[in-house]
Amino acid sequence: MPERQIRKLLIANRGEIAIRIIRSARVMGIRTVAVYSEADARSAHVAAADEARLIGAAEAAKSYLNIDAIIEAARDSGADAVHPGYGFLSERAEFARAAKEAGIIFVGPPGQVLAQLGDKIAARNLAAAAKVPVVPGLDAIEPSAARDFAAQIGLPILVKAAGGGGGRGMRVVESLEDLDAALEAASREARAAFGDGRVFLERYLARPRHIEVQILGDEYGNVVALGERECSIQRRHQKVIEESPAPGLSESTRAAMIDAALRLARAARYINAGTVEFLVDGDHFYFLEVNTRLQVEHPITEIRFGCDLVAEQLKIAMGQKVRAPGAPQGCAIECRVYAEDAPHGFRPATGAVVDLRLPAGPGVRFDTHLVAGAEIGAFYDGLLGKLICSGADREQARGRMLAAFDEFAILGVTNTAGFLRDAVASERFVRADLSTRFIDELFSDPPHDDRAESDAALIAAALATQAPARGAANGGRTASTRSPWAELSGFELWRRQ
């Protein structure tokens, strides 16, 4: 078997996923190189790796999206492989090609696969050719053709960016007079985000589920599927709660989806880990896109299949064959905790972590880069961590999630943990009444006004203002050090009461 050895791996990412990748590499005896921006010099992923290289300024374009700087860091550190994580450069064909030209193994699909599947129009055409159902849509958008298409299939319709992802450059058009503005806005957003202003139209499914299939492919043409993930609970077209298996999905639909994903993977000559996303409407499913990388929500698959997907990616990159997975066990649920203000439109929040309490126990995993003192800034995605709970069945996994949230607290950064707890506790979630409309529907339910909880919050706030000035409580020691702690008084003082 023509195996290549990876001895030193550069992780072209930050945050929880960088740490996640470092952990698997270390287990395999591979040395790790972290890269970081000026804003991340004190971040946990930098300390977690065997060595670290500064690659540029805080702005992602100058650091985590800077292909030249990353390739240079890989060369300079003697790394023989680079893992892109998710987001940033993970789906950029030019990054995979640049690595290859530099003689560095890219842990992901080859450049041509990334290029084909990254172009949503090309991917749709490939899916259709592989007899994978696609949502009725239109590629070329002349305003007049767009109007005809809308008239033909009915409103609402969805405008999407050809080079897009993560909800950017996406617009729902409810009425024809909004069509031109939506095309313009989606195209502008797409050009700004992806440097590609092409957009296309699709029928908008009002209440679909989002279900995806994990695939692994090797360079010998073998592809395998590792079950599905239900990812319907989203805000701004981005997932926040995922679970596996997809509840209520019929065995025949599940089998048909897995079969379709494998057909598409073979047609694309897919290599490494990937995810084929579908919209599901009853027993009908439609191809959405292929994510040509490790997904954020990969841990729920790892738990059910007892595997390590990062290790699988590295083994594939070293030329090993993929093996058929065993039968999946139990149920796993993931909640993504973001630095956002859920009740106010999930607005991004920033701040410094004053203190955090992390849950533990059977079937509880928390993937994070947070430590006390960590600064959450505005430069990067606000994912703080992923709480992943598993059990023999959905009810046990759900119960563990609720118990874990009861142990969980992050003080200092407004975050979505309280919202996630409510969502998992909700009757809608218990019934598995899931669709991409879940959060809107949850917010439209009568709010449960928890007076005791809001009283507790107000009393806690009042107690914080009662605490004397910090210097006095420290026996006259003045806060002469210019640290982010200087302005934080209440919590520190409580330790001494």
Q: Applying CB under 8 A, which residues contact another protein?
A: 59, 166-168, 185, 189, 193, 236, 238, 340-341, 343-344, 347-352, 354-355, 357, 377-379, 381-382, 405-406, 408-415, 417-418, 420-421, 452-453, 455-467, 487-492, 494-495, 497
Question: How far, in Å, are 28, 182, 194, 197, 333 from residue 188 at the CA level?
Answer: 44, 10, 10, 6, 36
Asked whether the beta carbons of 334 and 387 are under 8 A apart, the reply is yes
Residue 409: CB minimum distance to another protein, A: 4
Contacts of 103 (CB under 8 A, 6+ apart): none
Q: Please state, in angstroms and rounded to a whole number, the distance separating the CA atoms of residues 22 and 20.
A: 6
| Nearest CA-CA partner of 416 in 358, 354, 340, 343 | 340
Residue 390: CB minimum distance to another protein, A: 19
Please identify, using beta-carbon distances, which residue of 144 and 497 lies nearer to another protein. Answer: 497
Residue 424: CB minimum distance to another protein, A: 11
Please identify, using beta-carbon distances, which residue of 53 and 235 lies nearer to another protein. Answer: 235
Please identify, using beta-carbon distances, which residue of 100 and 188 lies nearer to another protein. Answer: 188
Question: How far, in Å, are 17, 84, 329, 449 from residue 301 at the CA level?
Answer: 16, 20, 10, 36
Residue 471: CB minimum distance to another protein, A: 14
Asked whether the beta carbons of 281 and 137 are under 8 A apart, the reply is no
Please identify, using beta-carbon distances, which residue of 121 and 185 lies nearer to another protein. Answer: 185
Residue 456: CB minimum distance to another protein, A: 4
Contacts of 19 (CB under 8 A, 6+ apart): 44, 45, 48, 367, 368, 369
> Any catalytic annotation for residue 293?
yes
Other CB atoms within 10 A of residue 146 CB: 23
Please identify, using beta-carbon distances, which residue of 57 and 205 lies nearer to another protein. Answer: 57
Residue 414: CB minimum distance to another protein, A: 5
Question: How far, in Å, are 54, 172, 290, 452 from residue 191 at the CA level?
Answer: 28, 18, 21, 48
Residue 417: CB minimum distance to another protein, A: 4
Please identify, using beta-carbon distances, which residue of 430 and 456 lies nearer to another protein. Answer: 456
Please identify, using beta-carbon distances, which residue of 371 and 461 lies nearer to another protein. Answer: 461
Question: How far, in Å, are 21, 54, 74, 151, 364 from residue 312 at the CA level?
Answer: 11, 28, 22, 47, 22
Asked whether the beta carbons of 215 and 109 are under 8 A apart, the reply is no
Catalytic one among 168, 293, 365, 400? 293
Active site residues: 293
